[in-house]
Structures are given as structure tokens and as C-alpha cells.
Amino acid sequence: MTQHFDYFVIGGGSGGIASARRAAEYGAKVGIAEVGRLGGTCVNRGCVPKKLMVYASHFPEQFEAAKGYGWTIGETQFDWTKMITAVNNETQRLNGIYQRMLDNSGVTLYRQYARFVDEQTLLVGDEKVTADKILIAVGGRPVLPTNVPGIEHAISSDDIFHLSTYPRRMVILGGGYIGCEFASLLARLGVEVTQIIRGEQILKGFDDDLRNEVQMGMEQSGVKLMRQSQITAIEKNGEAGVEITVHDSAGDHHMFADAVSLAATGRKPNVEKLGLDCTSIKLNDADAILVDEHHRTAVEHIFAIGDVTDRVNLTPVAIKEGRILADTYFGNKPAVMDYENIPTAVFTTPELGTVGLSETEAKQIYGESAIKVYRSRFRPMFYTLPDIQTKTLMKLVVHGETDQVLGAHMTGDDAAEIIQSIAIAVKMGATKAQFDATVALHPSAAEEFVTMR
């Protein structure tokens, strides 16, 4: 017997679960298929476990800072296995929470793959399922380059969370946010990190001042950055470790490491097992599912959200897309996702938070003479007593004629927390005069955003 649903979701990540639960709240009969851990990349192999590891990496500097406040710190020792075990235990706890949320919402969970038999029918495990509306929310996965001999000896960012032993030496390929976050946190945990990038600078696409600050901070914490370089070969080195050949303008270099991570080279939509050839769904050149502004594919009743569409690959974006979709079609609350001024953070040390246009983007759109830039670079109060030369940078990009704040950017402690609030003002179209009219909260780092001249 074929089971029929009002709404069936393929993929139990954050976006898919959010959409399924919201639709069920409106009374829809909802099913969802997920063969892996609930919560998707963010909960299991991404932002949550990574952020916990970032917290762990902050303690060496905090131990040092404590001395300046009169504390006597004894011998410290880091236990990699204990940290990894605790991190993975937390992700398992979150899996259970997602399970309970689905149960409480009355969503039927299938622990199998789902693939299309035709545009109305899915094969979920051995069972056929039909649905009035179908959502594809299967996310993406790390991509490893295929033109590097010995690539099978590399690991992805997913694998870093499951390294049972402390990697004393790590090579990371790529200067994007994933590579930078892992390079930064591992270096601060005492790992000898070499980061290999094809260009001169990390974090392409972010504001140049922020890129400079993060790159400088990472190098100061011990990350060895190899610019204009690429890995050309990886060889197994005995029982443990690998030998990596790196090519740059000076020729070939050989280095040894306990592991080499190539996940920083990008991610790819998970479309292979969906049976899309049985539908009229169209993909772009990057194998992402093409959708319109209402998240609809080329098939009217089939939708897609999140990383599988390769629009804005952020968990909160997928969650919002999923909820808007459910609100529109099951709650009679039509809406369209707004992709402008989405706040973003990179959890390196120093931390990066940003919303709106970079200085370069603003000048390209409005012209160089139309843009005013305000900056403040300072040492936060916390670091004065221990005399640690850690800096924070804050920056506002303003349209000269309208006085509207087009972008707000920050590197330093709590950048993500501060930018989250600033993003509200930027989203509302606040002006520099309105920032200036806001009374400063003193003493705080955040007050610099309303006192810049």
C-alpha cells in the first residue's frame, strides 16, 4: 500500500526539519526521510562541533590573560581525545532533541534514502510514498580534487571531528572560511599547521580590511601560510602520517604531516541518489537544483532549499527558506526570502562578523567618491592588564549622499554576537546619524560602532 502525504521532505537537516515541523503545525500530514544523523551538516559535521572546538582553542590565551588579573595558573595540559569525545557526545544529544521535535510535531520519520520513481512518487527504502508537495533539502558534501595523486590519503573537514589521536602536524588546503576556521583553531590547540592557498590572501569575497586582520592574527598564532601554492601529490608515510608535495613559484617542496585536509576546496550538492532523471528537475553547471524565488523547481509541486540549491549556503538561511515555504503553502502566509544583508560570521581567531556591502562592493556599485568609510582599531580593555597585543577592528561603510549604513564589519572577540545586533539596524536601513544618536554603552567594545568619527 502506498502512503500518501500532504508534504514530504527529503533530508533531515536543519532546513528540512524546520520546514517539516512548520507544515505539521498547520495541520499538514508530513513525512521526512533521513538515513543519517538528524540535524544535517551544521549539527553533526559543521558549525556546532566546530564552534565547540573553537571554544577549546581559546583557553591557552585565557590562561595567559588570567595572570594579568592576579591569578596563578599551574601546569596546563590538553587532552584531544577527551575534547573530541565531549564534542561528539554533544552532537548525539542534539540528534535526540531533533528526534523528539519531530515526534512531538507528528512528523513521520523514515530512516532510509528517498529517490524519485516519477514526479509524484518516491521510493523510500522499499516503500512507495506519494505527496502533494515534495521538498528536497539534502544539503551538500565536501569535494576532494580528483587530479591529485594519492588523494585517497587525505581527509575531509568531516573527518577532523573523528580523529581519535592528536594531530601534531596538519596541512590544510584552501583559504575559504572552512579551511581558515580549522587552521586557526588547530594552531591554537598546539597543532603545527600549514595552510596552502592558491592566491595571496585568505577569505576571498570578504572585506579587505577584515581579510588582512584575520590573516595577520592567524599567522601570529602560528599558522604557516603558503601563498600561491598547490598540492601536487600525497603519499602515505609508513604506518602513520603523509608526505605532501607542494608546488609554488620556487618549485616543489616536501613536507610531512599527521594528516592533510582538503575539504577546504569546496562542497557539492548531494543530488546523485535522488533519481532526478525520473523528473524534469533542472540542475545548473555546479549540479545545484535550479529554483525560482518561491523555491520551486521546474516541477510545480517539487521544491528545494538550502545547500542543494547553492544560493546562500548558511544553515539559518536554509531554516528560514524552509519555514517560509511551509508558511506560504500550508499556513496561507505567502512570503519571499530576502537574501540582502544576511549577517555572516567566520569563527577564526580573531573572529569575523559582517553584514551588508564590503568597501569594495559599495564603491563598485555607487562609485568611489560616493562612499564614506569609518574605522576603529583598538585593543579591548580585557587585554590591557595582561598586556596582550590583541586588536579589534570595526568598520562602517556609508553612502555619502543618503547617509545609509551599507555595511558593518568587525574582527575581534564576540564579533558574531555584536554583528547580529548591528545587522538589525543595517537591515532597517539605518543611517550613520542614527548610529551616532545612539547612546554608547560604556565600557564595551560594541560602543565603538556608535562613536566612530
Catalytic residues: 442
Q: Where are the beta strands (DSSP E) in 113-215?
A: 114-116, 121-124, 127-136, 140-142, 169-173, 192-196
Torsion of CA 310, 315, 317, 320, to 10 degrees: 130
Alpha carbon distance, N-terminus to C-terminus of the chain: 70
Cα separations in angstroms, 160 against 44, 46, 53, 89, 156: 12, 10, 11, 15, 7
248: which strand partners? 251
193: which strand partners? 170
Whether the CB-CB separation of 42 and 315 falls below 8 Å is answered with yes
Extract the C-alpha cell encoding 300. Answer: 510545480
| Separation between Cα atoms, residue 426 and residue 400, nearest integer Å | 15
Whether the CB-CB separation of 304 and 289 falls below 8 Å is answered with yes
Dihedral pair phi/psi, residue 432, rounded to 5°: -60, -35
Cα separations in angstroms, 366 against 201, 374, 400, 423: 25, 17, 10, 21
